[in-house]
Amino acid sequence: MSKWTDTAIKCIEDEAKALLDLIPLIDGDFDKTVEIILNCKGKLIVTGVGKSGHIGAKIAATLSSTGTPSFFINPLDVFHGDLGVIQHDDVVLAISNSGQTDELLRFLPYLLENHIPVIGMSGNPKSLLAQYATAHLNAAVSHEACPLGLAPTSSTTAALALGDALACALMEARHFKASDFAQYHPGGTLGKRLLTKAHDVMHTDDLPVIPPTMKLGEAVIHMSNGRLGLCVATEDNKVVGIITDGDIRRAMENSQDSFFKLTVADIMTRTPKEVSPDTKITQIEKILHQHKIHSVLVVDKEKHLLGVVDSFSTMI
C-alpha cells in the first residue's frame, strides 16, 4: 500500500478509537439532556462556530427529521438581530470543542437570565460552557486524527456521533416509528415506500376474473390474456378463490389426460391472501415474503375484487 493509503487508514483508526473512547464519558448528564429536550415546549436551537457550526447544522437537521423541532443558528448572527428567535420555551444546544468560544459565551448570560436551558457539548468538561450549562455532553478526544494534530477531525467526528446518539435516544423516548420518519421525508424514496398503499399501485384494468365452474383449458386462455400469472374466481361478484400458473402446471402434471375435464374449483386456493386498499406496500411485501407468493388480492369489506398487487408493483 502507498503512504497515502497508510495515512487514510490511520486517520480512520484514530477516529474510530475516538468514538469508542466516548462511551465511558456518557453519564447522567446525557439522560438529563434527553429529559430537558423531551420537556421542551418550544424549539431546540443548535449553535456553534466554524467546524462546530457545520456539525451543529447537521445535528439540527437530524433531530428535525426524527421528531425534535430544531434549527441551527450562527452565534455571530445572534448579535445582529437574530437573538429574538430564542424564546422562553426553547432549549439551546451550544457546541464548542474548547468550550471557551467567545461568540457562544457572549450570549450565555442572556440565556441564563431568561432561564433558557443550555445544553453544552464540548471536549472540555472544565470549560466555562460546561460550568454554566444546565447539562454538559462531554465530547473529549485525546488527539486529532490529522497528521499535524491540529485540524478538527476526531473532535468533529466525536461531536457528530454524540449528536446522532442524542437523536437515537430521543427517537426511542418518543417511540418514533418508520411511518413517522416517512412523514418528515415525503419526497424521498423511503418516504414514498412507507406512505404508498395498495390502492396506489394495484392493477385494476382487465383483471382475469372467471367463474369457479370454468374448465381449466379455458382458464389458461384468460390467464394468458391477463398477464398477471393468475385468475381470480368469483361468485356473485365476491372472491371465492384464486389459481396461478403454478397451479395450472401442477394440475397438468398430475392429471395428464383428465386435465381438460377439471374446473377452476377443483384446483383453486379457496383462501387467497387478501388486503384492503389502504394496506401499505411495506406490509404487502412482508405478506409476499412470508407466504412465498407473487401476488395478493385487494378487496373491500364485502370481498369484492378491487385490484391485484404483485411483487413488481411494490418496487418503487
pTM of this structure:
0.63
Tell me what pLDDT residue 188 has: 55
Distance (Å, whole) CA 254 – CA 250: 6
Query: 11 and 145: one domain?
Result: yes
* CATH code (residue 205): 3.10.580.10
> CB-based contacts of 123: which residues, under 8 Å, 6+ apart?
97, 98, 99, 138, 139, 140, 141, 155, 158
Distance (Å, whole) CA 189 – CA 168: 21
pLDDT tens for each residue of 253-297? 888 788 889 999 999 999 999 999 999 988 999 999 999 999 999
Instruction: Count the Cβ atoms, other than its own, within 10 Å of residue 187.
Output: 6
Distance (Å, whole) CA 185 – CA 195: 10
- Per the structure, the complete domain to which residue 252 belongs is given by 198-310
* CATH code (residue 62): 3.40.50.10490
pLDDT tens for each residue of 255-266? 878 888 999 999
**Residue 112 resides in a domain:** yes
Query: 117 and 232: one domain?
Result: no
Query: 116 and 265: one domain?
Result: no
Query: 157 and 204: one domain?
Result: no
Distance (Å, whole) CA 156 – CA 145: 10
Distance (Å, whole) CA 231 – CA 222: 7
* Mean pLDDT calculated for residue range 295-315: 92
Tell me what pLDDT residue 1 has: 57
User: CA 64, 183, 69 angle in degrees (round to 5)?
Assistant: 20
The DSSP output letter for 189 is H
